[in-house]
Structure 1
Amino acid sequence: MTERTFTIDAVCAATGVSPACIHKWINLQYVNPIHPTRRGVHRPFTLRDAIHLAAIKQLQVLGLPVSRAATIIGHSPLETAGQDVLTARIGDAEIRLDMTAIAARVRTRLLA
């Protein structure tokens, strides 16, 4: 069975990340979407891609630079897929990211 894919516009609406940010994050290799593409061809995004982008956005909202957020949770959606909670320690602070809630929010917005 083929995994359902979404346009960048749908992913942006579901995650709150602008198309320019997504392209920048991919070019800087902060995010490595599941499906590769070539120049001039629209990239298909998966639900896992969208959830991963939303998690990075959530860490950014908490004040972390995107580069640090990607280091904490990984660059690939395959690294966050299926996790309920991500925990990271930064100095003396601990960050707990509720991946279940992020996934539910993104799923609801994408599949509505």
Structure 2
Amino acid sequence: MDLLTALELTLRKARAHGGVVRGLHESAKLIEKRVAQLCTVTSQITSSLLRLSALITTSTCLLFQVPRPSANGLLCKIDSEGNARKVVGCSCLVVKDYGEDTTALNIVKKHIESN
């Protein structure tokens, strides 16, 4: 299983349990509360994302970078059949509850910790 597939499966499980928050403002609030477990941001850095990544370094949240905002949008809007729908760019999304421990989650965690 490759990394992006593992990330997609992890986010699908988290969405099923109501554990995914999208957007810069909502993500920052969860990171400040120390509730966030995983944060995916785009590699197209803006000043807001720089502040957010500085906030992440002070917390225990794991940071994962995706190549472009539409990739984050693809990951966070998946229907029950596994197809992406209504894809809109998303600069940041945060997982506050993984739902359950899966092999896909372990693959994502190992990749983040090794980098």
Q: TM-score, normalised by structure 1?
A: 0.27
Q: TM-score, normalised by structure 2?
A: 0.26
